[in-house]
Amino acid sequence: MNHRLTLFATAALAAVAAFPAVAQTVGVNAAVVNDVRMKTEANPAVHRAAVKERVALGNDIATGPASRLQVLLLDRTNFTVGANARLKVDRFVYDPSRSASSVGLSVTRGAFRFMSGKPLHANPGQSQINTPVASIGIRGTIVELAVGADALAVISHQPGLPRFTADAETATLVFLRGPGSAAQGGEQQGAIDVTAGGTTGSISGSGQAFFIPGPGQAPLGPFLLSAEASDALANLLGRRGRSNGRFESPLIENPLIDQFFEAGERGPAGQVP
């Protein structure tokens, strides 16, 4: 199957900066692969997503088979969505003057990777990802998760779990990829809190995971995610091969991105310049 990959580059930055800000804008589409559908403030009907298109609060985002999306938020947080996924941004608060932000997202199906920007670290515990069966509190980290069929496919590579009865629509796997205890460059060690079935569990560092089989069930774990399961999850998100160590986004150290967002931080809070 031929894949159509469009990357976020100089033209995207220029085009986004050229239009007046939309109050609810939280970021832009940075990369679109194949069939990605969404709603936006400018076009409230479901339509095919495009690179540099604005993402706003409450936008419904859906990916088709063999498709993928990467979104870059105003605080430099970015997330990647795998194939056959459903999600939306529920909440985004960003104060450039304090370099502080918080994010709330809902993921109802598919695989998802979240990489927090530095401003989010200033509000530890204020950001959250929700799935149909779990709530994941984020404290500055790289977290990956899978919901539904993707979660069951990944967990099938994990030995040693106790017996469980899983719901094929809502089962959720949550994996803390990093940063670990050896984080460098001023990074903080990643940490997450996972609440499900009235129980909360916490993990920090990297390599640990929780699995929630279905509604009303407490998290299984934490456990060290096997290399095979880690690879299976990474493959769902478009990264091939052995996945030891943190995933680096090509957007994070892009000087064009730095210039664009430094300009944005001088403007009104929560707006694209």
pTM of the model: 0.79
Per-residue pLDDT tens digits of the chain, which is 273 residues long: 444 443 343 333 333 333 333 447 888 999 999 999 998 878 889 999 999 899 989 889 999 999 999 999 888 888 999 999 999 999 888 777 777 778 899 999 999 999 887 756 655 557 899 999 999 998 878 999 999 999 999 999 999 999 999 999 999 999 999 865 544 444 567 899 999 999 999 999 889 999 999 999 999 999 999 999 999 999 999 865 444 443 344 444 444 444 444 554 444 333 333
Give how far Cα 265 sits from Cα of 24, 100, 140, Å. Answer: 16, 11, 20
Q: Which residues contact 9 (CB under 8 A, 6 or more apart)?
A: 256
- Residue 273 is assigned to a structural domain of this protein: no
- Residue 270 is assigned to a structural domain of this protein: no
Name the residue among 7, 44, 8 with its Cα closest to residue 24. Answer: 44
CATH number reported for the structural domain that contains residue 217 in this entry: 2.60.120.1440
CA distance 263 to 187: 23
Helix (H, G, I), strand (E, B) or coil at 100: strand
Name the residue among 263, 268, 267 with its Cα closest to residue 13. Answer: 263
- Residue 269 is assigned to a structural domain of this protein: no
| Domains in the chain, number | 1
Site of tokens 């990369």: 31
DSSP 8-state code for residue 8: -
Our measurement of the distance from residue 147's CA atom to the centroid of its chain's CA atoms, rounded to an integer in Å, reads 13
- Residue 217 is assigned to a structural domain of this protein: yes
Site of tokens 């094929």: 168
Domain that holds residue 36: 5-264
- CB-CB contact of 209 with 176 (8 Å): yes
- Residue 227 is assigned to a structural domain of this protein: yes
DSSP 8-state code for residue 129: E
CA distance 162 to 158: 11
Q: How many CB atoms lie within 10 A of CB 271?
A: 17
- Residue 272 is assigned to a structural domain of this protein: no
Helix (H, G, I), strand (E, B) or coil at 134: coil
Query: Looking at residue 180, what is its pLDDT?
Result: 53
- Residue 212 is assigned to a structural domain of this protein: yes
Helix (H) or strand (E) holding 14: helix 10-18
Peptide bond into 44 cis (omega under 30): no
User: DSSP H helical segments within 139-215, as ranges?
Assistant: 149-155
CA distance 115 to 176: 11
- Residue 189 is assigned to a structural domain of this protein: yes
